Amino acid sequence: MSTIKDVAREAGVSISTVSFAINGTAPVAPETKKRIFETIERLNYQPNSAARGLVTRKSNNIGIFVPHPDSSIFTFSGNQLFANLLQGIGEVAGEKGYNLLLAWDRPDKEKPSKVIELARSGSVDGLLFLIPNHDHTIIDQLIEIKFPFVFMGNHYSDKPVDSVDIDNFQASYECASHLLKLGHKRIAFISPGPLDFLVSEDRYEGYSSALKDAYIEPDERLFYVGDDSKASGYRAMEHFFASGESPSAIVAGRDVQAVGILKYAKERGMDIPRDIAVVSFENSQLAEMYDITSYSTDLYVIGNNAAKMLFKLISRKKERQPQNVVIPSELFVRGSCGSVSRNDPLS
């Protein structure tokens, strides 16, 4: 592998001139420049990233911190959406000449966190978090060393932390309101994940606020903790109908849960949306396939904005107030909630 020294020798100039030509950090005579780039081409020279990083104190990597792949939240809604997120991030990173380092934390809690290690070792210049809840220890350490990071699909209420997300409270409020407007009174709620996920909390609060604004007290019998499976939607239905307070409508946490609801309904001969109206989140392919009304969560836009924000943080001169960017999103009304006519699941 050739070095800048080789290029300098072959081109008959000093190494600083080569560096100036490559980085444009000082004027270089046109013919000298031409000679240098020809030699670079000929020798297949590529600056060593470690050497460069040692001087510039930049790695040109940004870390994307995700949950452990075998945790269900990782796929974040089953399908396309992680790819969308990556594309949103990648477009910005590519433009800036940055690479993407994918990392998740070690299962064993004894070793220091992988993120902190990456930050402290200078392996990444900034971090993008795609995690459902907060590890205060990690956040505090990052803040202490003033390391740039942005939360995606999440925000942080306790500390001033930058984030990009949809407004889950508002979204959930709208979902419930939509059902209320259709005349429903007994509206059940399924959380998208465990209750310590901030998204679950925000959604529940949006839902219950909508109900309260309509003078309906949320009934805890119509509350169920769901997860990233069809089965959790199915089980939620079993739970609701065994609770003594059968719902006439459901705010599901994920499209895949809604599919489980559809299954339950079909087995019991219930009609969607006549007997049970369903509204969900994600607006994924599943929602389209099964004609489910669903609130969009555009991960491409979230990733794109988060990456842009991170690069601002990385190159910032002075301190700045953290921002919580809210991505616009909306309810895609389909057949499952009764406002429009219903299509067949397989059509």
Enumerate long-range contacts of 1-6, CB under 8 Å, 24 or more apart.
1/46, 1/48, 2/43, 2/44, 2/45, 3/45, 3/48, 4/45, 4/47, 6/43, 6/45
Judged by CB under 8 A, does residue 48 bind a second copy? yes
The single residue listed with the structure tokens 């000093």 is 14
| Between 75 and 324, CB nearer to a second copy | 75
Judged by CB under 8 A, does residue 343 bind a second copy? no
Judged by CB under 7 A, does residue 25 bind DNA? yes
Residue of 34, 42, 51, 137 interacting with DNA (CB under 7 A):
51
Report d(CA 67, CA 73) in Å as an integer. 7
What are the C-alpha distances in Å from 325 to residues 48, 191, 290? Answer: 37, 23, 31
Q: Looking at 48-56, 174-182, 192-200, 312-320, which segment touches a second copy (CB under 8 A)? A: 48-56
Q: Amino acid identity, residue 240?
A: F
Residue of 10, 13, 306, 335 interacting with DNA (CB under 7 A):
13
Please report the beta strands in 208-274, taking only residues with DSSP state E, as ranges in sequence order: 223-225, 249-251
Sign of CA pseudo-dihedral 55, 61, 62, 63: negative
Minimum CB–partner distance for residue 335 and DNA (Å): 58
The conformation of residue 66, written as its DSSP 8-state character, comes to -
Q: Looking at 31-39, 93-101, 272-280, 335-343, which segment touches a second copy (CB under 8 A)? A: 93-101
| Residues at the site binding DNA, with contacts judged by CB under 7 A | 1, 3-5, 12-17, 19-20, 22-23, 25-29, 32-33, 45, 47-48, 51-52, 54-56
| Residues at the site binding a second copy, with contacts judged by CB under 8 A | 1, 44, 46-51, 53-54, 59, 61, 64, 68-70, 74-75, 78-80, 82-84, 86-87, 90, 94, 99-104, 106, 116-118, 120-123, 145, 230, 259, 262-263, 266-267, 285, 289, 344-347
